[in-house]
Amino acid sequence: MTITIVGVGLIGGSIAKDLRVSGFAAHIIGVDKDKQNASYALKLGIIDEIMELEKAIPLSDIIIISIPVKAGTKLLPFILDKISTNTVITDVGSTKKDICDAVRMHRNRKQFVAFHPIAGTENSGSKASLEGLFDGKVGIICEKELSDAKALKQIAKMFQTLKMNLLFMDSDSHDLHVAYVSHMPHVISYVLAETVLEVEKSTASIFNLAGSGFASTARLGKSPASMWVPIFEQNSKHISKALDVYIKNLKRFKTSIDKRDVAVMQKDIESANKIREVLDGIKTRSIRKIN
């Protein structure tokens, strides 16, 4: 099977590595506007060749769009215009409503499967790609009813080859939920990093005093703006609502600190501690077969 990956970065490169190891892909074509990144991916054997998109489309069994979500939303209709009936397209974007809406009425919509792998790191580029990145992670397929059954089964099989657990959602529900558990944490991390850098003018002080708590919380703040600004733009409605709730709770906590109200602090922290039970108890059902 020939797989074309548009955007051989962290996610696209990691997919390529695992599809090669598993034997799912016989040949992997890389399409990337960053020539240096593409050359690096070719040198490392992540992809088999570099090609212009229009030349790659007719050669591909599956095309994976792995570029920032705004660019992917613009590119998808162009690819759908040009594919044959034997080609399936999927994407790996962190927002789903805009891209699904962009092709809802397209004549080849059934050949597109909207997908979001809940996996990644704060790093970017093909050099950051990792084998096993998706092992045991959740992958969300959106609006499956609009995809052809054969296309859906093919994409599900591909991501199950990466050892992912698959869930199905509508695009708006997807964007709402990831606003809280994925997008808002990135906003918080960016603001935390910005705040510390603003207050601590000496970077030496930060490195000398920062513990593992700060490092783990601020880690997401290293993620590139080129990836996350488009996500924040596309999912602004849900992220804004999530931040309203967060800011309300943050203000309440600040008030308890200002007043040295240990009872309220105790109550809030104990309430927050319940997240341990939730995280420890999460059991995601893997979808093993799609008819």
pLDDT of residue 284: 43
Which strand (E) or helix (H) includes residue 166? strand 165-169
Per-residue pLDDT at 206 exceeds 90? no
Per-residue pLDDT at 81 exceeds 60? yes
Same structural domain, 32 and 126: yes
Q: Among residues 110, 142, 170, which one ends one of the domains?
A: 170
Of 21-25, 37-41, 166-170, 282-286, give the lowest mean pLDDT range: 282-286
Same structural domain, 132 and 273: no
Farthest CA pair distance, the chain: 67
Same structural domain, 248 and 211: yes
Same structural domain, 237 and 251: yes
Same structural domain, 143 and 71: yes
Q: Which of 12, 11, 290 is nearest to 155 (CA)?
A: 290
Per-residue pLDDT at 287 exceeds 60? no
Same structural domain, 132 and 215: no
Q: Scan for tokens 């930060």, then name that residue.
A: 206
Q: Indicate the average pLDDT of the chain.
A: 91
pLDDT bucket at 275, cuts 50 / 70 / 90: confident
Average pLDDT on 150-172 reads 95
The answer to whether 66 and 7 have CB atoms below 8 angstroms apart is yes
Same structural domain, 153 and 185: no
pTM, two decimal places = 0.88
Of 39-48, 160-169, 270-279, give the lowest mean pLDDT range: 270-279
Q: Residue 138: which residues within 8 A CB-CB, separation 6 or more?
A: 117, 118, 164, 165, 166, 167, 284
pLDDT bucket at 203, cuts 50 / 70 / 90: low
Number of domains making up the chain: 2
Tell me the chain's radius of gyration from C-alpha atoms: 21
Per-residue pLDDT at 207 exceeds 70? no
Calpha distance 39→98 (Å, rounded): 31
Same structural domain, 236 and 158: no
Calpha distance 166→160 (Å, rounded): 8
Task: Establish if 14 belongs to a structural domain.
Answer: yes
Task: Establish if 17 belongs to a structural domain.
Answer: yes
The number of beta carbons lying within 10 Å of the beta carbon of residue 225 is 9
- CATH number of domain containing 182: 1.10.3660.10
Same structural domain, 55 and 142: yes
Task: Establish if 291 belongs to a structural domain.
Answer: no
Look up the domain containing 215 and give its range.
175-281
